[in-house]
Amino acid sequence: MNLHAIRAIYLFEMARTWRTLLQSIVSPVISTALYFVVFGSAIGSRISEVDGISYGAFIVPGLIMLSLLTQSVANASFGIYFPKFTGTIYELLSAPISFYEIVIAYVGAAATKSIILGLIILATAGLFVPLHVEHPVWMLLFLVLTSVTFSMLGFIIGIWADGFEKLQVVPLLVITPLTFLGGSFYSIHMLPPVWQTVTLFNPVVYLVSGFRWSFYGQADVSVVTSLVMAVVFLTICMLVIRWMFLTGYKLKN
């Protein structure tokens, strides 16, 4: 394995984070704080508790997951799209580095940024509501697994996109709505039975549920099911990326 190449790409991508600190870190944290003010004050005044948990604390995992998903996709998609846009992708493809190493570097950098952001938001949330992480190891596991999985999804989107507009389509029209409808701000048990069944077809439900279980020991679906669904999604993304590189889809033309 070409560790020097992986390190070079990884450090380059991480350096871009510090050059765009306002957009990469500050903006998502401020947005999350506003969510606490709006949802915690407006809705929290009407819904004091959900499953025995104060509403302000209940929405913390959902807010972290919302930022985690959107930022993972955005960071990874732009990271691989920009070399395509400038034409330097051909130098990368002709270099003595396998596509596995390319993916490890770009996805690793995007996931690292998202994990750092998630931990910062978690610390920020502690300023608004009392927090208790019941299963810290599981919390970190879901944090890392979700960041890596959606960074891979973003990597796929970056290869697929042929314009900056397409980079925004999936996060804006797919990821964000699925997150809002995935139990981020409510328990799916509050829905009518029919809609509970429909909601289970939303993959984000399993991520939010598993992540919330790591905080409070309560979940809408089994934590094992959540973990299995996350691994399945990760595997699908890996297979799609492998197919893209083996066929040269949107890379060699």
pTM score, whole prediction: 0.89
pLDDT digits (tens, 9 = 90+) for 197-248: 888 888 899 999 999 999 998 888 999 999 999 999 999 999 999 999 888 8
pLDDT at 45 > cutoff 80:
no
* Residue 132 pLDDT: 81
The pLDDT of 41-46, averaged and rounded, is 62
d(CA 182, CA 133) in angstroms, rounded, equals 21
CA distance 154 to 224: 25
pLDDT of residue 253: 61
Classify residue 147 by burial, with Cβ atoms within 10 Å: 0-12, 13-18, 19+: buried
Tell me the average pLDDT across 130-151. Answer: 91
